[in-house]
């Protein structure tokens, strides 16, 4: 009797599992099609002398595309600019985002209105954001320099000065993306349990102490995920520099994604562009793994 | 059942009859594209073919076209090809030779200005394109200021020469200096002698080429050996830098032609070296405060030549309809209508057409401008070279790199690319 029951359960189990596979099959198939295939194809192409003028896989050149990428003028520069950019936007957006999220968390009234205002930039297409800001920041006819002029500040060369242009792009990115941080962190904050705070207050902890010893440790998983996602997106930033600066002045805002784009569509060298993309993927994966493990170890 | 089948059959037949042919064309958002759009109802009436024009900005065109051209059946029936891409597209075998069609329909290609037919028409004796419009560069200036008697007196007093349409580069730069002013006396200039477009990439390359030619420079010699890293090239960078620093608006290092254009349209500058196609826009009160005040003069030693050609890609899904459209759009009647609307023609006779001249008195200047314009290095890797040159020029102009070093690097890159293309022999 017992054996019959067990086999019945396992039969149901098997059917469940089969049904589960059946349901996930379309999803898995499309994932393979749109993610795994292009990924492996990119790795494959990076080993060949494959250009848009000569589209064939008849010349296998091994790691030559990787070697030639490093030999390109200003490739190291683009990597360095990308690193600076990613650190700047992720760090600043986190600081601003967390501060605003903490402030909003204690707000009771008009929360929806604040949400709406904060979310608006995030809903705008990055190309549109870049175009809007390029117009606002026109040194001669833009509204920003006009307003600064009213209070006696000389015209700022927003996009023509190498140092200022870098920070202009960083600030535009912050304007556009900071709400992403706010929304995610705020979701984490509002889900925190009340009890630890009450206990901390009973023990006489100050606001700062309960922030450091209660909020931060509890928020750690949310912070890790938020930083990770933002970091990955920041490495891929393309639209802003493409529209606002084209990597200039000089190489001041020459991000690696734009470098890859030029290699593929101006240099027509799909092999080399694929090689740099693979390198970028490896770097992002390594960064992600490191950050994830580091944060886990803290917990 | 029979009735049902009959009804379905009838419906299918009717949709077959009523479904109009449609051709898709990718074009740039420039005045000439709009003029063509305005004329499309005439084409529809004559042929029954619908034309869908997708107009986008220049910077997106190349990357949008290339994937469509590499597939066996692309999304565009006809395309317009910038002179930058001619060698690349033909070498890659993406464009269909038009010679047979031209012969079959007796299309006269001798009507085109020879320099434009060679720029965006034929490659090694094969006709791949029919020239569409030219965007040769010249000096757009304020004719009201040039004709102002007070200005003329002051100019004469300062330089000892007459204020008139410049015939030398030195004379033009005197005028640039003369008209740069601080009108409100706050210590900062607010009216500019000229406006530069110094943005990295294509923008700076195009405008700087005029400075190079004006200083007697050339990109390469007859054997394709780069020559622009010489005295003329250095002087061109020096002039360009000086104009940005002393005669132009703040931030011109990051301008492309649209930013420069807005400054001129707002009446804040005397002149700028730019594309002739922009001139008619300054007479539009909706976007300009200098209506009736702008005119054009050819660059003293000839500016940069530029043009677009109509082509049929090999990936075109409907080559016949595309050819019908190209024949129509380049027919005399349509070319004249487009020119009357403010377009930039490529057929020689239009520049002298009495109706056109009556409406646009500066046509003779445009004719000289096109006839004397000089060619940018056009070869398979033009787009690649433009990126390198644009980066190096921008580095030099923004003071991040020594001008000689920048020009040397760009020159060695031109040599390497020309060698790769089989043009430069050791």
Of the candidates B256, B311, B308, B248, which has an alpha carbon nearest to the alpha carbon of residue B92?
B311
* Cβ(A243)–Cβ(A134) below 8 Å: yes
Most confident of A21-35, B371-385, B390-404: B390-404
Contacts for B211-216: CB closer than 8 Å, 24+ residues apart: B211/B236, B211/B237, B211/B239, B211/B240, B211/B273, B212/B236, B213/B299, B213/B301, B213/B302, B213/B303, B213/B304, B213/B374, B214/B169, B214/B172, B214/B239, B214/B299, B214/B300, B214/B301, B215/B169, B215/B239, B216/B301
CA distance B92 to chain A (A): 5
Pick from A52, A127, A140, A168 the residue to mutate for testing the B interface (most B CBs within 10 Å): A140
DSSP state of B244: I
Q: Classify B135 as helix, strand or coil.
A: coil
Can B21-135+306-371 and B137-298 be said to share one CATH topology?
Answer: yes
Residue A248: list chain B partners with CB under 8 A.
Answer: 199-201, 253-254, 391, 394, 398
**What are the residue boundaries of the structural domains of chain B, listed by start?**
21-135+306-371, 137-298
Residue in chain B nearest A134 by alpha carbon: B259
The answer to whether the predicted template modeling score (pTM) of the entire model surpasses 0.80 is yes
Closest residue on chain A to B392 (Cα): A250
Structure-block tokens of residue B46: 């004559």
Contact between residue A279 and residue A82 where contact means Cβ atoms under 8 Å apart: no
Question: pLDDT tens for residues B213-243?
Answer: 999 999 999 999 999 999 999 999 999 999 9
Tell me which of A249-263, B55-69, B111-125, B126-140 is least confident. Answer: B55-69
Q: What is the pLDDT of residue B18?
A: 45
Percentages helix, strand, coil for chain A (3-state, rounded to 5) are 75, 0, 25
Q: Which residue has the higher pLDDT, A34 or B5?
A: A34
Say which of A141, A246, A265 has its CB closest to residue B200. Answer: A246
What are the structure tokens assigned to B210, written together? 């005029």
- Which of B251, B386, B391 is opposite residue A160, by nearest beta carbon? B251
Cβ-defined contact of A249 to B200 (cutoff 8 Å): yes
Interface contact A265-B66, CB threshold 8 A: yes
Is residue A228's pLDDT more than 70?
Answer: yes
User: Do A69 and A272 contact (CB within 8 A), yes or no?
Assistant: yes
Residue A129 pLDDT grade (very low, low, confident, very high; cuts 50, 70, 90): very high
The answer to whether B305 and B373 have CB atoms below 8 angstroms apart is yes
What pLDDT is stored for residue B97 in this prediction?
Answer: 97
CA distance B406 to B391: 9
Q: Per the CB < 8 Å rule, is A53 touching B92?
A: yes
Q: pLDDT exceeding 70 applies to what percent of chain B?
A: 95
Which residue do the tokens 């220049």 mark? Answer: B58
Q: What is the mean pLDDT of chain B?
A: 92
User: B7 pLDDT band (50/70/90 cuts)?
Assistant: low
pLDDT score for B20:
66
CA distance linking residue B278 with residue B252, whole number of Å: 18
Chain A residue numbers with beta carbons less than 8 Å from the beta carbon of B188 are 154-155
Nearest chain B CA: its distance from A37 CA (Å): 18
Q: Confirm if B343 and B31 have CB atoms less than 8 A apart.
A: yes
In this prediction, residue B280 has a pLDDT band, given cuts at 50, 70 and 90, of: confident
- Is the pLDDT at B75 greater than 50? The verdict is yes
Give the Cα separation of B301 and B215 in Å (integer): 8
Picking from A137-141, B1-5, B113-117, which range would have the lowest pLDDT averaged per residue? B1-5
Among the partner-chain residues A156, A248, A266, the one whose CB lies closest to the CB of B394 is: A248
User: b/e string for A244-261 if b means 16 or more Cβ within 10 A?
Assistant: bbbbbbbbbbbbbbbbbb
Q: What is the pLDDT of residues A263-292, one digit of tens each?
A: 998 888 999 999 999 999 998 888 888 887
Inter-chain residue contact B251 with A138, CB threshold 8 Å: yes
Task: Give the nearest partner residue to A265 out of B62, B255, B259, using CB atoms.
Answer: B62
Mean predicted confidence (pLDDT) in B303-324: 95
Neighbour-count burial of B348, counting CB atoms closer than 10 A to its CB (0-12 exposed, 13-18 middle, 19+ buried): middle
Q: What is the rounded distance in angstroms from the CA atom of residue B95 to the CA atom of residue B127?
A: 10
Q: Does the CA dihedral A259-A265-A266-A271 come out positive or negative?
A: positive
Tell me if B395 sits within 8 A of B378, measured CB to CB: no
Alpha-carbon gap, residue B312 to B325, rounded angstroms:
10
Mean pLDDT score, A114-133: 91
- Nearest CB to A250: which of B62, B384, B398? B398
Instruction: Report the number of secondary-structure helices (H) and strands (E) in chain A.
Output: 14, 0
Interface of B with A (CB under 8 A): 59, 62-63, 66, 70, 88, 91-92, 188, 198-201, 203, 249-255, 259, 262-263, 266, 268, 380, 383-384, 386-388, 391, 394-395, 398, 400-401, 409
What H or E segment, with its residue span, contains residue A209?
helix A207-210
Domains of chain A, each with CATH number or no CATH: 69-298 (1.10.3720.10)
Q: Could you tell me how many helices (H) and strands (E) chain B has, helices first?
A: 18, 10
Q: Do A246 and B199 touch (CB under 8 A)?
A: yes
pLDDT of residue B426: 72
Contact A138 B259 (CB under 8 A): yes
Structure tokens at A66: 């990787």
pLDDT of residue A5: 56
φ and ψ of B249, to 5 deg: -75, 155
Residue of A nearest to B401 (CA): A250
Sign of CA dihedral B256, B258, B264, B268: negative
pLDDT at A4: 53
CATH number (3.40.50.720, 3.40.50.300, 3.40.190.10, 3.40.50.2300) of B21-135+306-371 reads 3.40.190.10
* Residue ranges of chain A whose CB lies within 8 Å of a chain B CB: 52-53, 55, 73-74, 138-141, 154-162, 165, 242, 245-252, 261-262, 265-268
* Residues across chain B: 426
Report whether the peptide linkage leading into residue A249 is cis, meaning its omega lies within 30 degrees of zero: yes
In three-state secondary structure terms, B308 is: strand
The answer to whether the beta carbons of residues B329 and B36 sit under 8 Å apart is yes
- Residue contacts between A and B (CB atoms, under 8 Å): 107
- Cross-chain residue pair B262–A141, CB shorter than 8 Å: yes
Nearest to A123 by CA among A181, A182, A179, A172: A179
Confirm if A294 and A231 have CB atoms less than 8 A apart. no
**Residue of B74, B108, B107 lying closest to B89 (CA atoms):** B74
Whether A225 shows a pLDDT value over 80: the answer reads yes
**Residue range B328-352: average pLDDT?**
95
Instruction: Give the residue with greater pLDDT, A150 vs A106.
Output: A150
Single out the residue of B205, B202, B227 nearest to residue B217, CA to CA: B227
Write out pLDDT tens, residues B141-170.
999 999 999 999 999 999 999 999 999 999
- Among all residues of chain A, which has the CA nearest to that of B62? A265
The pair of three-digit structure tokens given for residue B245, joined into one six-digit string: 């620093």
Contact indicator for B350, A225 with CB cutoff of 8 Å: no
Coarse DSSP helix, strand, coil percentages of chain B, rounded to the nearest 5 percent: 50, 15, 35
Interface contact flag, A249 B394, Cβ < 8 Å: yes
Is residue B96 predicted with pLDDT exceeding 70?
A: yes
CATH number for B137-298: choose from 3.40.50.20, 3.30.70.330, 3.30.43.10, 3.40.190.10.
3.40.190.10
DSSP β-ladder status, B22-28 and B78-82: parallel
Give the pLDDT of residue B413.
Answer: 95
CA pair distance B147, B293, nearest whole angstrom? 10
- ipTM for the predicted complex: 0.86
**Contacting residues of A for B387, CB less than 8 Å apart:** 262, 266-267
Q: Say if residues B21 and B56 touch (Cβ distance below 8 Å).
A: no
Cα–Cα distances in Å, from B144 out to B170, B184, B290, B308?
21, 21, 10, 32
For residue A141, with 0-12 CB atoms within 10 Å meaning exposed, 13-18 middle and 19 or more buried, which class applies?
A: middle
Distance (Å, rounded) from C-alpha B3 to C-alpha A296?
73
């Amino acid at each position: 009797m017992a054996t019959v029951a067990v086999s019945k359960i396992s039969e149901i189990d098997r059917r469940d599992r089969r049904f589960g596979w059946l349901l996930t099959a379309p999803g898995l198939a499309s994932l393979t099609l749109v993610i795994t295939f292009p990924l492996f194809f990119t790795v494959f192409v990076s080993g060949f002398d494959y250009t848009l003028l000569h589209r064939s896989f008849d010349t296998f050149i091994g790691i030559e595309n990787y070697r030639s990428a490093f030999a390109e003028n200003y490739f190291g520069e683009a990597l360095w600019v990308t690193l600076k950019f990613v650190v700047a936007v992720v760090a600043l957006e986190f600081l601003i985002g967390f501060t605003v999220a903490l402030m909003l968390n204690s707000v009771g009234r008009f929360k929806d209105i604040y949400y709406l205002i904060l979310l608006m930039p995030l809903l705008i297409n990055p190309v549109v954001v870049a175009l809007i800001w390029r117009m606002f920041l026109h040194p001669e006819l833009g509204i920003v320099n006009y307003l600064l002029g009213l209070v006696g500040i000389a015209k700022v060369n927003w996009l023509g000065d190498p140092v200022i242009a870098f920070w202009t792009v960083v600030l535009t990115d912050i304007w556009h993306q900071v709400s992403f941080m706010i929304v995610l962190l705020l979701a984490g904050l509002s889900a925190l349990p009340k009890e630890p705070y009450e206990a901390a207050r009973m023990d006489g902890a100050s606001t700062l102490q309960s922030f450091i010893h209660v909020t931060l440790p509890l928020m750690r998983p949310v912070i890790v995920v938020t930083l990770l996602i933002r970091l990955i997106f920041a490495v891929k930033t393309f639209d802003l520099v493409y529209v606002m600066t084209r990597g200039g002045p000089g190489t001041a805002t020459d991000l690696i994604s734009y470098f890859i784009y030029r290699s593929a569509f101006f240099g027509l060298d799909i092999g080399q562009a694929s090689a740099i993309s693979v390198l970028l993927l490896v770097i992002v994966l390594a960064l992600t793994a490191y950050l994830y493990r580091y944060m886990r170890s803290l917990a | 059942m029979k009735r049902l089948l009959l009804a379905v059959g009838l419906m299918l037949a009717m949709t077959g009859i009523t479904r109009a042919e449609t051709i898709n064309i990718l074009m740039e958002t420039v005045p000439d594209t709009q003029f063509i759009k305005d004329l499309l109802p005439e084409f529809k009436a004559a042929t029954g073919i619908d034309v869908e024009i997708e107009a986008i900005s220049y910077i997106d065109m190349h990357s949008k076209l290339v994937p469509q051209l590499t597939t066996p059946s692309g999304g565009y029936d006809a395309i317009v090809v910038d002179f930058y891409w001619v060698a690349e597209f033909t070498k890659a075998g993406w464009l269909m030779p038009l010679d047979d069609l031209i012969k079959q329909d007796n299309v006269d290609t001798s009507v085109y200005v020879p320099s434009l037919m060679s720029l965006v028409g034929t490659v090694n004796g094969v006709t791949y394109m029919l020239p569409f419009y030219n965007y040769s560069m010249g000096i757009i200036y304020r004719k009201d200021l040039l004709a102002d008697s007070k200005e003329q007196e002051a100019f004469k007093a300062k330089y000892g020469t007459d204020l008139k349409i410049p015939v030398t580069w030195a004379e033009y730069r005197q005028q640039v200096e003369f008209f740069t002013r601080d009108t409100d006396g706050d210590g900062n200039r607010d009216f500019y002698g000229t406006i530069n477009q110094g943005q990295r990439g294509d923008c700076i390359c195009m405008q700087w080429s005029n400075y190079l030619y004006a200083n007697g420079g050339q990109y390469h010699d007859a054997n394709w050996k780069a020559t622009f890293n010489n005295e003329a090239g250095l002087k061109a960078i020096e002039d360009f830098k000086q104009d940005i620093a002393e005669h132009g608006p703040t931030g011109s290092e990051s301008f492309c032609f649209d930013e420069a254009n807005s400054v001129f349209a707002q009446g804040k500058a005397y002149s700028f070296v730019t594309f002739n196609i922009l001139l008619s826009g300054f007479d539009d009160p909706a976007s300009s405060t200098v209506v009736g005040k702008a005119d054009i003069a050819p660059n003293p030693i000839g500016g940069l030549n530029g043009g677009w050609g109509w082509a049929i890609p090999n990936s075109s899904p409907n080559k016949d309809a595309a050819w019908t459209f190209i024949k129509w759009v380049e027919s005399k009647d349509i070319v004249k209508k487009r020119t009357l609307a403010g377009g930039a023609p490529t057929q020689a006779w239009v520049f002298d057409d009495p109706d056109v001249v009556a409406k646009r008195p500066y046509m003779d200047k445009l004719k000289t401008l096109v006839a004397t314009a000089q060619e940018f290095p056009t070869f398979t890797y033009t787009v690649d070279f433009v990126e390198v040159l644009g980066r190096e020029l921008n580095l030099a102009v923004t003071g991040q790199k020594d001008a000689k070093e920048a020009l040397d690097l760009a020159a060695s890159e031109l040599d390497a690319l020309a060698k790769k293309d089989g043009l430069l022999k050791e």
